[in-house]
Amino acid sequence: MLDDQAKREILSNAKTIAVVGHSDKPARTSYQIAQYLRRAGYTVYAVNPSVEEIDGERSYASLKDIPHHIDIVDVFRRAEHLPGIVEQAIEVEAGVVWAQLGVANQEAAKRAHEAGMPIIQDTCIKVEHARLLG
């Protein structure tokens, strides 16, 4: 588990965030948090194979389709999907995997640690950003 200082460094140094499970529906939490992250100055890439674009920005089918380095992979998918997302994050050499509230998977955490990739689980990136960098 990463402490507040480590989370602060991750959030301060990151420039790009891929939001896996980014909804195109404004009422959804993933949409609202992606908007918050954009307002906070991050470049946000939507990952949702069900839609082609969200608010005029391209939506990617997977992490592997994003042609830029990803600092944070923010996950809004059910816990059983996390191992596959971690594998993709490792493949694209993302900086860290950040799984939202209610999303935790020990297999995924073990694989991330084996690959030397930090992983934060069951934690809201918006809440932590506001608390640590406010």
4: left (phi over 0), alpha (psi -120 to 50) or beta: alpha
- Position 1 scores a pLDDT of 77
pTM for the model: 0.97
Sheet arrangement for strand 16-20? 53-54, 57-60, 43-47, 16-20, 72-75, 96-99, 119-120
Domain coordinates in residue numbering, the chain: 4-133
- The CATH number fitting domain 4-133, selected from 3.40.190.10, 3.40.50.880, 3.90.1150.10, 3.40.50.720: 3.40.50.720
Number of Cβ atoms within 10 Å of the Cβ of 82: 26
Task: Give, in order, the Cα–Cα distances in Å from 26 to each of 23, 32, 34, 37, 86.
Answer: 8, 6, 10, 14, 26
Could you tell me the two tokens for 101?
Answer: 């509230």
- Residue type for position 119: I
Query: Residue 69 half-sphere exposure, CB side, CA atoms within 13 Å?
Result: 6
3-class DSSP state of 13: helix
Angle at 29 between CA 35 and CA 7, to 5 degrees: 70
pLDDT by 10-residue block (mean), the chain, 134 residues:
95 99 98 98 98 97 98 98 98 98 97 98 98 94
DSSP structural state of residue 100: P
Q: Which of 117, 26, 41, 123 is nearest to 74 (CA)?
A: 123
